[in-house]
Structure 1
Amino acid sequence: MVQPHGVILAGGRATRMGGGDKGRLMLSGRSLVARVVDRLAPQVDRLALNANGAPDRWSDLGLPVLPDEAPDRPGPLAGVLAGLDWAAATGCPHIVTAAADTPFLPPDLVPRLLAAAAPSGFALAATEVDGRVRAQPTFGLWPVALRDDLRTALAAGTRKIVAWTDAHGAGLAVFPTEPWDPFFNVNTPEDLARAEAMA
């Protein structure tokens, strides 16, 4: 399978952190988003950032900045669509997404998503705790072939990622949660303190 493009999703409003760019929060001397870049870049053939507002505030990362096409910032699916449109323009058949506030994402995220892909080309990351598998829907392998379907779904009001992926049969790549959850994300000041301890 062709190596996918990578898209870091940083388009959220970060309301629980008081607003601003959550990916810019510092963790042991490096920003959250820089840590995500370090982990995801070696796994993909090229990398971009989905973010809204002035793109030059991300210029230090040296990445293309992809704003949401959909109005009113309707959530992560809009960022996925921006990434799919970018990949389509370069001829890449799929992308892998990761959230900008998850500094411990797996170093084998992409190969395991590729291995878990359903016939539709979809796969989502997941974790299993106490026998219960839980999807991590901002971490996924997304086929460019379905971008127009996603565009239509967004226009019709679809916002939850799994509401759309379930309709197309996403495979699951299940990751261990020991010694910690690799998809731990920083939503609050308390989370940031916990991440410092983990780092």
Structure 2
Amino acid sequence: MSGPLGVILAGGLATRMGGGDKGLLTLGGRPLLSHVIDRLAPQVSGLALNANGEAARFDEFGLPVLADSISGYAGPLAGVLAGLDWAATQGADSIVTAAADTPFFPADLVARLQATGQGIETALVLAATPDAKRGQVRHPTFGLWPVSLRDDLRAALNDGLRKVVLWTERHKGREAVFPIGDVDPFFNVNTPEDLAKAEQMRKGAS
């Protein structure tokens, strides 16, 4: 199989939105998830959605729905593992993940992640943006993940690990730094106020 598979992470609890699926909230008359699919699908060789609960609520998108295999809410790493296990059945070497609540991420996300991982046998790369105070900020729901590490990740999750960067640093993970232009490409919708801001950002970009 040529190129990584894409996995959209939609397994969050959305507590600051009052619960429910953030990806089903409407932006510009369409679900947030539709915007994410439109951006990621052209960059990958296949696409799936990581979400828990009743899969039928995502039927309109026509994607495989992958539930976490780790019990309880184990965070984004559990979604990554679900994606890696699915990718293994598809014969893929890697996946690229994107969050379901981040509608403006770069159209060259996959290309930049892959370029940063070039020449590394086990390329594990997170997206990052520059930050004046901290140098850079990592975006752990956006990354390139090798299928070969799935059993290591499963063991780490079963041992209680939940923080993405703790695991990526164990495997010498790198960061692909993306510029911030007029809008933060990794702006995500956590609150009703964020959704209103995203609407303004969308109109400004059009």
TM-score normalised by structure 1 residue count: 0.98
Contact 1:8 1:98 in 2 (8 A): yes
SS of 1:23 mapped into structure 2: helix
The aligned amino acid for 2:105 is L
The aligned amino acid for 2:50 is N
Runs of 4+ off more than 4 Å: none
Distance in 2 between residues matched to 1:128 and 1:30, nearest whole Å: 30
- Equivalent residue number for residue 105 of structure 2: 105
Distance in 1 between residues matched to 2:141 and 2:2, nearest whole Å: 21
- Equivalent residue number for residue 136 of structure 1: 139
Contact 2:2 2:45 in 1 (8 A): no
Distance in 2 between residues matched to 1:178 and 1:74, nearest whole Å: 33
Seq. identity, %: 63
Contact 1:104 1:183 in 2 (8 A): yes
1:46, distance to aligned residue in structure 2 (A): 0.2
1:120, distance to aligned residue in structure 2 (A): 2.5
- Equivalent residue number for residue 153 of structure 1: 156
Residue 197, structure 1, aligned to residue 200, structure 2? yes
- Equivalent residue number for residue 121 of structure 1: 123
- Equivalent residue number for residue 188 of structure 1: 191
1:119, distance to aligned residue in structure 2 (A): 4.0
Could you list the per-position Cα deviations for residues 1-52 of structure 1 after superposition, in whole angstroms to 9, with x for gaps in the alignment?
Answer: 9400000000011000000001001011111111000000000000000000
SS of 2:63 mapped into structure 1: coil
Distance in 1 between residues matched to 2:128 and 2:183, nearest whole Å: 14
The aligned amino acid for 1:32 is L
Aligned length: 199
SS of 1:137 mapped into structure 2: strand
Distance in 2 between residues matched to 1:5 and 1:120, nearest whole Å: 16
Contact 1:124 1:170 in 2 (8 A): yes
Contact 2:9 2:76 in 1 (8 A): yes
1:129, distance to aligned residue in structure 2 (A): 2.3
Could you list the per-position Cα deviations for residues 75-120 of structure 1 after superposition, in whole angstroms to 9, with x for gaps in the alignment?
Answer: 1000000000000011100000000000001000000000011442
TM-score normalised by structure 2 residue count: 0.94
Distance in 2 between residues matched to 1:37 and 1:6, nearest whole Å: 9
Distance in 2 between residues matched to 1:78 and 1:196, nearest whole Å: 30
Distance in 1 between residues matched to 2:164 and 2:175, nearest whole Å: 14
- What aligned pairs does 1:21-170 form with structure 2 within 5 A after superposition? 21-117=21-117, 118-130=120-132, 132-170=135-173
Contact 1:129 1:177 in 2 (8 A): no
Structure 2 unmatched ranges of 5 or more: none
SS of 1:127 mapped into structure 2: strand
Q: Let me know the Cα RMSD of the aligned residues.
A: 1.1
Could you list the per-position Cα deviations for residues 101-155 of structure 1 after superposition, in whole angstroms to 9, with x for gaps in the alignment?
Answer: 0000100000000001144211110000226111111100000000000000000
Contact 2:68 2:79 in 1 (8 A): yes
